[in-house]
Chains A and B, each alone.
Chain A
Amino acid sequence: MNRTVRKFLRNPLNLIFLTILFLILIVAIFPGIFTRYTPYSMDYNAILEKPSLNHLFGTDQFGRDIFSRCVYGLQKSVVIAFSSILFASFIGTILGLIAGYYGGAWDLIIMRICDGFFAFPSLILALFIVALFGSTLLNLIIAIGVVYVPIFARTVRGATLSIRETLFVKASKVIGKSNTKIMFNDILLNLSSVLIVTFTTNLSTAFLTEASLGFLGLSVPPPEPTLGGLVGQGTAFLLSAPWITLFPGFVIAIIVLSLNILGDGLRDILDPKNK
């Protein structure tokens, strides 16, 4: 493991973007240190101001500081994206393990359901869920998470299929280990590198999904900002006040870019095919 980490860090690209991601995380955890204004305070005399030294990213239609809203929105977006992928990986892994390990009817049912979810337009699915349960932070996390469950289920199932046939799983069976133990100890342990890679790449797309939902007007209740919500709010003013859309979009792009580069780096090292 130690060797893998060293190998990963030897690539300067990985190091740079890991640092960027780390800094972003710091900002997300301690937003108060980096902002002059609260993200909520309105100033009716500073409506839609262009970016300036006073307001680095400009102001929105209520005179709120976009930079502050980006910083606080970043926090919310990180929580949403991370939790939803955590949720998806948890449910998806269990489903994938069951489908892959037991096979037969389990496999058939779970995979057909996954196909169904794959074929369902994902934004509409999320839209339905949020409409059904209300747009709270938790529901947004679930709505985005549900979209990613089949991806994890499929990946885990595929990997489980091959691990199931390995000698040591057969050995575990012979010595009388229970199925649950085999699934959650032996197989899961061997899935770790697959899971890490899948987690990283899908985490990046979760940010994009949150942003798309925000664009369609589905976000956490106001006045709380999220990066997606900010973008959505700004699209009405695209031609008169582009900064409302462009800056939060830029922040999203940076996060996703970092995650993608790290995902690539991880895959190069962890994926057995690349050894």
Chain B
Amino acid sequence: MSFGYLIRRIITSIPTILFVAFLVFIVMHLVPGDVVDMMLGTQNYLTQEQIQELYRQYGLDKPLIVQFGIWLKNLAALDFGTSLRTGKKVIDLIFDRFPVTLELSVLSMFFATIIGIPLGITAAIKRNSFLDGLVRVIGLIGLSSPSFWVGAILIVIFAGLFEGFNIFGYVPLTENPLKNLQVMFLPSLTLGLMLSAQIMRMTRSSMLDVLQQEYIKTAKAKGVSYSKVIGKHALKNALIPIITLFGIQLGYLLAGTIVIENMFALPGLGRLLLQAVNERDYPVIQFVVMFIAFLIVALNIIVDFIYTLVDPRVELR
């Protein structure tokens, strides 16, 4: 049953992704200045014929719709294009950059979870206490602060307090794990703090919902230990909305946290995209945007699917 649903969801999401591809294609080519302009810069050393020849070489002389058709055809043959600027395969660029974004996302979710869930549970149990109020306000502040602002504060603090701490200068995890984790610490903490606010709020409210349910009250009345009630019964049932939020947040993170990657100089997907836009590297823009769209759509499907596993009552049609 749910397997058929899965297939249907996947099929219906294909038009969405193709629409994104078409949208980015059109907008990208409408923006003035193309890759040849960017290469020549403010130097005019080529004749008009030579410039035309360059357009021909890049296949940019054909009508837009034909170019899009060619791109689609190549896509169907699993040829994702080649960067016009670096001559590298776009898929290789993704393999280079995506791990950075993935690591950042996973670490951020880690921080968000270890901060958000315990605080959210505490607030729910001690409802309307001072602690609850404090957690709520902190949560709201977290929600309200621009990410780069939090990042900026963290940078200023760490640069002032910890001489020799590597704030900048990304190295791959495989090359120097210690330094990698140091460099990743502040950006993922920044994102983690922001996301933890959402998780905290969600955990609190869904725990409150669950705690008011009859079966929890019954369990309590039966004398099941308090921690067991919370840990086993309540938390499990409060998980669904939290999982949804997880999915949304992970999608948001994987889509390339452009601002944070720029701020902390991390060579991730967001930076790749921004750079490609700046250089009008069409094949890279095209595929990266589509890749991100694909990730978001896929995560949505996965989240919906996990529902059915956590709560059999949810039925997907």
User: Do A and B associate with each other?
Assistant: yes
> A residues within 8 Å of B by Cβ?
112-113, 115-116, 118-121, 123-125, 127-129, 131-132, 204, 208, 211-212, 215-216, 231, 235, 238-239, 242, 245-246, 249-250, 252-254, 256-257, 259-261, 264
The answer to whether A128 touches B153 (Cβ under 8 A) is no
Interface string of B113-154 (1 = CB under 8 A from A): 000000000000000000000000000110111111100110
Contact A261 B289 (CB under 8 A): no
From known contacts A250-B149, A257-B144, infer whether A120 and B259 are also in contact, taking CB-CB under 8 Å: no
Do A120 and B149 touch across chains, with their CB atoms under 8 A apart? Answer: no
Q: Which listed residue (A112, A132, A249) contacts B149, Cβ 8 A?
A: A249
Quick one: given A124-B258, A132-B30, are A253 and B141 in contact (CB under 8 Å)? yes
| A-B residue pairs, 9 tightest by C-beta | A249-B149, A119-B293, A256-B144, A257-B144, A116-B19, A115-B16, A119-B296, A253-B145, A211-B146
Return A118 CB to nearest CB of chain B, in Å: 7
Q: Are A253 and B152 in contact, CB atoms less than 8 angstroms apart?
A: no
**Cβ distance B286 to chain A, nearest Cβ, rounded Å:** 12
Q: B19 near A249 (CB under 8 angstroms)? A: no
Q: A124-B277, A132-B30, A257-B141 are in contact. Are A116 and B23 (CB under 8 A)?
A: yes
**Which residues B182-238 have CB closer than 8 A to chain A?**
none
In-complex Cβ contact of B292 among A119, A254, A259 (8 A): A119
Query: Bound complex: CA of A261 vs CA of B142, how far in Å?
Result: 12
* Nearest residue, chain A, Cβ from B22: A116
Smallest CB-CB separation from A252: which chain B residue?
B146
- Judging by beta carbons under 8 Å apart, are A253 and B20 in contact? no
Do B16 and A260 touch (CB < 8 A)? no
- B153: A residues at CB distance < 8 A: 246
- For the complex, is B263 an interface residue (Cβ under 8 Å from A)? yes
Task: State whether B259 touches A123 (Cβ < 8 A).
Answer: yes
**Chain B: minimal CB distance from A210 (Å):** 10
In the bound complex, CA of A253 to CA of B296 (Å): 28
Flag if B27 contacts A119 (CB, 8 Å).
Answer: no
Question: Which residues of chain B from 270 to 317 have any CB-CB distance to chain A below 8 Å in the complex?
Answer: 270, 273-274, 277, 289, 292-293, 296-297
> B15: CB under 8 A from chain A?
yes
Q: Which residue of B lies closest to A211 (CB)?
A: B146
> CA–CA, A246 to B16, complex, Å?
40
Contacts of B296 in A (CB 8 A): 118-119
Would you call B23 and A249 a contact (CB within 8 A)? no
A235 to B17, CA, bound (A): 35
Judged by a CB distance under 8 angstroms, whether B107 is at the interface is no
Judge whether B148 and A211 touch: CB under 8 Å.
yes
A231 touches B148 (CB 8 A): yes
CB of A131 within 8 A of CB of B31, answer: yes
The verdict on B255 contacting chain A, using a C-beta distance below 8 Å, is yes
Q: From residue A170, how far is it (CB to closest CB) to chain B in Å?
A: 25
B256 at the interface (CB under 8 A from A): yes
A211 vs B274: C-alpha distance when bound (angstroms): 17
Task: Return A251 CB to nearest CB of chain B, in Å.
Answer: 10
B239 within 8 A of A: no
Which A residues are in CB contact (< 8 Å) with B145?
249, 253, 256
Please give, as numbers and ranges, the residues of chain B lying within 8 Å of A249 by CB-CB distance: 145-146, 148-149, 152
B155 within 8 A of A: yes
**A119-B297, A211-B146, A257-B140 known; A124+B289 contact, CB < 8 A:** yes
Q: Is the CB of A128 within 8 A of B31?
A: yes
Q: How far is the CB of B140 from chain A (nearest CB, A)?
A: 5
Contact assessment for B149 and A231 in the assembled complex, using a CB-CB cutoff below 8 Å: yes
Residue of A whose beta carbon sits closest to that of B33: A131
**Extra contacts besides A121-B256, A253-B146 (9): CB < 8 Å:** A112-B19, A121-B289, A123-B259, A132-B32, A211-B148, A235-B263, A238-B155, A249-B145, A252-B149
| CA gap between A234 and B140 in the complex, in Å | 25
Please judge, given known A-B contacts A121-B289, A121-B292, whether A242 and B156 are in contact too, CB under 8 Å.
Answer: yes
Q: Which of A128, A239, A254 contacts B156 (CB 8 A)?
A: A239
23 A-B pairs in the complex with CB atoms less than 8 angstroms apart: A112-B16, A115-B16, A115-B19, A116-B19, A116-B23, A120-B20, A124-B258, A125-B27, A131-B31, A215-B148, A231-B148, A235-B152, A238-B155, A239-B156, A239-B159, A245-B149, A249-B145, A249-B152, A252-B146, A256-B146, A257-B144, A259-B144, A260-B144
Cβ-defined partner of B273 (8 Å) among A121, A212, A238, A254? A121
A120, B24: Cβ atoms closer than 8 Å: yes
Does B262 make an interface contact (CB < 8 A)?
A: yes
Q: Which residues of B contact A260 (CB under 8 A)?
A: 140, 143-144
In the assembled complex, the Cα of A223 lies from the Cα of B98 at a distance in Å of: 38
Distance between Cα atoms of A261 and B13 in the complex (Å): 36
Q: Is the CB of B146 within 8 A of A132?
A: no
Min CB–CB distance A108 → chain B (angstroms)? 9
Whether A204 pairs with B144 at a CB distance below 8 angstroms is: yes
With A115-B16, A131-B31, A212-B146 already in contact, the answer to whether A261 and B140 are too (CB < 8 A) is yes
By the criterion CB–CB under 8 Å, are A128 and B28 in contact?
yes
Q: Which residues of B contact A127 (CB under 8 A)?
A: 274, 277
A131–B24 alpha-carbon span in the complex (Å):
13
The residue among B149, B277, B297 with the most chain A CB atoms within 10 A of its own CB is B149
State the CA gap A231–B149 with chains docked (Å): 8
